[in-house]
Chain A
Amino acid sequence: MSYLSLTDADREAMLATIGVDSVDAFFDQIPPGVRFDRELDLEPPLSEQELVAHLEELAARNVDTGREVSFLGAGIYDHYVPALVDAVLSRGEFLTAYTPYQPEMSQGILQAIFEYQTAICELTGMDVSNASGYDGTTVAADACYVAKHATGRAKVVVTEATNPQVRQVVKTYAVGFGLEVVEVPHRDGVTDPDELRGAAEDAACVIFQQPNFFGCLEAAPELAAAANDAEALAIAHVDPISLGLLEAPGNYGCALAIGEGQSAGNHQSYGGPHYGFLAARSEFVRRMPGRIVGETLDAAGERGYVLTLQTREQHIRREKATSNITTNQTLLALAGLVHLSWLGPQGLRETGETCLALAAYAKERLTAAGVSLAFPKQTTFKEFAVRVGRPARDAIREARAQGIHPGYALGRDYHVLDDALLVAVTEKRTREEIDRLAEVLAA
């Protein structure tokens, strides 16, 4: 199957107009030594029907969260995605458009991005949001680049209780940025503000996660204050679904707020594509990475939207750009906007409350079943760590045999937590499923 539209007669007529005998004439410019002289070694073409059958067969060999009760989180969550999201995203006018370089052709997506930027600013308490970054890891690296240039400093601090993949990506980028990365250990599942204050000395920024990777609530205002005391930029990595209940980073002294957007509007999709958000106080607007949409007027004096502040960007500024980002995650950010519009402030708060209540119930049931909390003194949101008294991988295998995925093995990232599971409870879980989890982990 192909998606070509020319008939043989079309091809003949076009070659005649061009004045050549065959398409080979166009390839004369390729030196003979680098022409490919055989057929690509690929499997034969499939019809649409065969293609669907083949991909269905591959999909069937995956155990998705519809086939197994899942308490997996650790950065990607099984939240409910309303049908409205898929309906809007299936509009070809959005789905099949390129970046809105020509605003008169692209008012729809430009306005949607402007509305998305507004939603992100409302959630985070910030003044400006970009049109999205790749995911919750790369926006952390982007934020370090902002901080490096804003402060002229060459060190960044990340708490150890921040998602390990975020830290790994920051370290990878730091090589190119010329930044040293310092990690501040957690103490009983949270970060000690005094310890952070010491590490923040001479740092361009301090990145912490709220709720942190273990699901624990950090003393976020104190962590931000510790960064600010050292004149380092305080950067909070936050979960959008928590922000109906938890204070906005802009309201406790953060310079930037970043995060993984998947919780709001994106299917799990084996890790992507999703979107990362990055928002900042207005003083950093001209250092922002990525696309930003601004409001303006057209020739008739009517309101309209354009890509703006483009002198920051690679296609104008080239090697002096604030980032190399070009393609971003607009469609996934649009999904986030649709989801947040469906929720509204009340729905967002209630989603958070349901997660919180179910997670509390799960903690209660699991401890009653003899499973201990890894950090019993800490307050948590939708996720928490437990110690199962045996290698977590064994517990996962046993639970999966009974149709439950009990969570993430923390030992993969924290060696002293080999018997620990990170359990995520979204609003999609039920009391009955939680009861089963408790039974399975007790056994």
Chain B
Amino acid sequence: MTKLIYERSQAGRRASEIPRPEGLTVPELPSELRRAEPPRLPELAEPEVLRHFTELSTRNFGIDTGFYPLGSCTMKYNPRVNERIVALPGFRDLHPLQEEEGAQGALELMWRLQEILAEVTGLDAVSLQPAAGSQGELTGLLLVRAYFDERGDTKRRKVVIPDTAHGTNPASVTMAGYEVTPVATDPRGNIDVDDLREKVTEETAALMLTNPSTLGLFDENIEEITSIFHGAGALMYYDGANLNAVCGISRPGDMGFDIVHINLHKTFSQPHGGGGPGGGPIAVRKTLEPFLPVPAVIRRDDGSFGLDYDRPQTIGKVRAFTGPFGVFVRSYAFIRSYGPRLREMSEVAVLNANYLLARLKDAYDLPFDRHCMHEFVLSARTLKREHGITALDVAKRLMDYGFHPPTIYFPLIVPEALMVEPTETEPKEILDAFCEAMLVIAREAVEEPELLKKAPHNRPVRRLDEVRAAKRAIVKYGFDEHPAPNGEPVEPRQLEAQKGA
């Protein structure tokens, strides 16, 4: 057990020294506004603060630590040069309200990134503002609303979403004030076009689709799907979570999509920081450009760069300023290092995934037996039926072999799903070692199932009781009243629910 930083605290100890300008007095604040009791922040000397967080870091696993095939999360190498670049004072210490002439480099970088994303997605205009993929979704749906409202077409309130979709899609639909129309998946892993045809009506505002889907499969009927939606006057929204599969190979705009969000923290290598930050720019067709968030980053006729707030039809702002600029710096640098070789990046991501698939498909169930794109979904259904071994058990056992598990229990239509995404940056030896581990685990499931049931065996903690956590909801340190564990073993009740994506 590692102490909490609050448990390392000693009254009167400190790390910081704050400048106290001589001869200045601190004005008295009105007593009714003044703080009565100081916040109980940690009190440690600096070396102990650093050691505490260093110790915590050793209890964490990143792509720097090892293979991280968390499906739909695109855990690729994060180039260190991008960290050096983003720390340049001209980027790091630039105030967002600096006058335009004092921020020309930053504005040009954003403008260039917009141009690049328009080219990669095959669309006309880009807003970098959304802070993450799911905020890009909400922004896109608000654009859809604004577009139809402007046309006086107010009956369209339904958004079609396939049953393979990320949970963010339906959650965003509700936040945009729309309703979800679910559509089924056919036996080849495409959208069921017959089901779709019945569900697209004059009340349909849009389709939200990830392509390739969360099954890692490109929808073979995409052209027909587009014609159904555009034929009905509805719009097409592309969830760019899986864009890493198709850069330079197929563009969402060319597929017929009108709005796309791009996850900069997936395809374009912004490190995900244990949960964020991310970036979720959106690219749109010309007809939707007037509604994009403000300010727009523009190049003026004289070649200078600026911010344009004068967009009368804008939906407004979805985040402060122009977006998460540090993310743009890293993604721009990443893209500039590849250039047109982004196509090769996607090809290798797809090759790596198909290689793993070929080596693993006999040991696990494969619900859709065709070549995959950048990821694929296996199932532990047979292991569960015959040996009582679940996807969760396989995932936990992989930890003992030094791998981060794949995404599990997602997509929802595949029971005991294991969703594997290797990305393009892994060498063949790592892919082979992962396959060996997965094959050994499949044998262990038959021969020594208890080994899997009790896994992991060599992580800093054993399986954790998730049910207890949700019931008791201890969500902050309680200081003197904080409960102390009595060391009695517990039943680690884990939720067989989506972990990843």
Known: A119-B41, A268-B93, A332-B277. A52 touches B84 (CB 8 A): yes
| A14: B residues at CB distance < 8 A | 351-352, 355, 428
Q: A28 to B465: give the CA distance in the assembly, Å.
A: 45
CB distance B70 to A272 under 8 Å? no
User: Which residue from B53, B221, B255, B459 sits with its C-beta under 8 Å from A105?
Assistant: B459
Q: A357 to B27: give the CA distance in the assembly, Å.
A: 6
Give A353's nearest chain B residue, CB to CB.
B26
CB distance B15 to A97 under 8 Å? no
Contact stretch, chosen from A193-201, A226-234, A290-298, A366-374: A290-298
Give B4's nearest chain A residue, CB to CB.
A115
User: Which residue from B265, B273, B427 sits with its C-beta under 8 Å from A94?
Assistant: B273
Interface SS majority for chain B: loop
Contact stretch, chosen from B130-138, B380-388, B444-452: B130-138
A residues 102-144 in Cβ contact with B at 8 Å: 102-109, 111-115, 117-119, 121-123, 127-129, 131-132, 134-138
| B396: A residues at CB distance < 8 A | 104
B187 within 8 A of A: no
A residues 391-410 in Cβ contact with B at 8 Å: 396-397, 400, 405, 408
Give B64's nearest chain A residue, CB to CB.
A92
A389 within 8 A of B: no
User: Which residue from A29, A84, A95, A317 sits with its C-beta under 8 Å from B167?
Assistant: A317
B326 within 8 A of A: yes
Q: A62 to B38: give the CA distance in the assembly, Å.
A: 39
Q: A20 to B80: give the CA distance in the assembly, Å.
A: 35
Known: A88-B50, A315-B167, A323-B171. A104 touches B461 (CB 8 A): yes
User: Which residue from B109, B373, B456, B472 sits with its C-beta under 8 Å from A58?
Assistant: B109
| A23: B residues at CB distance < 8 A | 347, 350-351
> Contact mask B280-313 → A, CB, 8 Å, 1/0?
1000000000000100000000000000000000
Q: A127 to B220: give the CA distance in the assembly, Å.
A: 50
From residue B251, how far is it (CB to closest CB) to chain A in Å?
A: 5
| A82: B residues at CB distance < 8 A | 15-16
B residues 72-98 in Cβ contact with A at 8 Å: 73, 75-79, 81, 83-98
| A331: B residues at CB distance < 8 A | 271, 273-277
Q: A347 to B438: give the CA distance in the assembly, Å.
A: 51
Contact stretch, chosen from B194-202, B228-236, B481-489: B481-489
CB distance A60 to B105 under 8 Å? yes
Q: A345 to B489: give the CA distance in the assembly, Å.
A: 37
A residues 27-41 in Cβ contact with B at 8 Å: 27-31, 33-36, 39-41
B155 within 8 A of A: no
Known: A5-B427, A94-B273, A128-B476. A269 touches B222 (CB 8 A): no
| A272: B residues at CB distance < 8 A | 96, 131, 277, 319-321, 323-327
Give A297's nearest chain B residue, CB to CB.
B490
From residue B350, how far is it (CB to closest CB) to chain A in Å?
A: 5
User: Which residue from A93, A301, A313, A405 sits with its C-beta under 8 Å from B98?
Assistant: A405
Q: A70 to B251: give the CA distance in the assembly, Å.
A: 44
Q: A55 to B81: give the CA distance in the assembly, Å.
A: 11
CB distance B326 to A273 under 8 Å? yes
> Contact mask B198-210 → A, CB, 8 Å, 1/0?
0000000000000
Known: A43-B336, A62-B105, A172-B142. A348 touches B348 (CB 8 A): no
CB distance B35 to A243 under 8 Å? yes
Tally A-B pairs: CB < 8 A: 750
A443 within 8 A of B: no
Q: A269 to B488: give the CA distance in the assembly, Å.
A: 48
CB distance B21 to A354 under 8 Å? yes
| B138: A residues at CB distance < 8 A | 173, 176, 324
A46, A296, A308, A400 — which one has the most chain B CB atoms within 10 A of its CB?
A296
CB distance A59 to B498 under 8 Å? no
Q: A323 to B134: give the CA distance in the assembly, Å.
A: 10
CB distance A96 to B132 under 8 Å? no
Q: A6 to B395: give the CA distance in the assembly, Å.
A: 26
CB distance A4 to B345 under 8 Å? yes
CB distance A221 to B254 under 8 Å? no
CB distance B97 to A95 under 8 Å? no
B15, B41, B318 — which one has the most chain A CB atoms within 10 A of its CB?
B41
Known: A96-B62, A323-B171. A61 touches B21 (CB 8 A): no
CB distance B464 to A296 under 8 Å? yes
A1 within 8 A of B: yes
| B50: A residues at CB distance < 8 A | 84, 87-88
| A431: B residues at CB distance < 8 A | 21, 24
CB distance B93 to A306 under 8 Å? no
CB distance B497 to A310 under 8 Å? yes
A202 within 8 A of B: no
CB distance A269 to B347 under 8 Å? no
A63 within 8 A of B: yes
| B1: A residues at CB distance < 8 A | 302-303
CB distance B34 to A247 under 8 Å? yes
Give B487's nearest chain A residue, CB to CB.
A301
Q: A296 to B490: give the CA distance in the assembly, Å.
A: 10
Q: A276 to B21: give the CA distance in the assembly, Å.
A: 31
| A182: B residues at CB distance < 8 A | none
Q: A317 to B357: give the CA distance in the assembly, Å.
A: 30
User: Which residue from B34, B251, B371 sits with its C-beta under 8 Å from A25?
Assistant: B371
User: Which residue from B2, B41, B91 sits with its C-beta under 8 Å from A348?
Assistant: B41
Give A56's nearest chain B residue, CB to CB.
B88
Q: A87 to B108: give the CA distance in the assembly, Å.
A: 30
| A168: B residues at CB distance < 8 A | 316-317
Give A10's nearest chain B residue, CB to CB.
B428
B residues 114-161 in Cβ contact with A at 8 Å: 116, 119-120, 122, 131-135, 137-138, 141-142, 145
CB distance B475 to A302 under 8 Å? no
From residue A34, how far is it (CB to closest CB) to chain B in Å?
A: 5
CB distance B53 to A103 under 8 Å? no
From residue B425, how far is it (CB to closest CB) to chain A in Å?
A: 5
B residues 332-378 in Cβ contact with A at 8 Å: 332-333, 335-345, 347-348, 350-352, 354-355, 357-359, 370-373
CB distance A33 to B41 under 8 Å? no
User: Which residue from B14, B53, B325 sits with its C-beta under 8 Å from A344?
Assistant: B14
A14, A41, A134, A136 — which one has the most chain B CB atoms within 10 A of its CB?
A134
**4 residue pairs, one from A and one from B, having the closest CB atoms:** A331-B273, A59-B90, A92-B64, A271-B321
Q: List 30 A-B contacts (CB under 8 A).
A: A14-B351, A19-B358, A20-B354, A26-B354, A29-B220, A31-B221, A42-B335, A59-B90, A63-B102, A64-B94, A101-B500, A102-B399, A115-B4, A115-B42, A128-B475, A136-B320, A176-B138, A251-B36, A273-B279, A298-B461, A299-B462, A299-B492, A308-B473, A315-B498, A330-B275, A345-B40, A356-B27, A357-B21, A358-B24, A360-B25
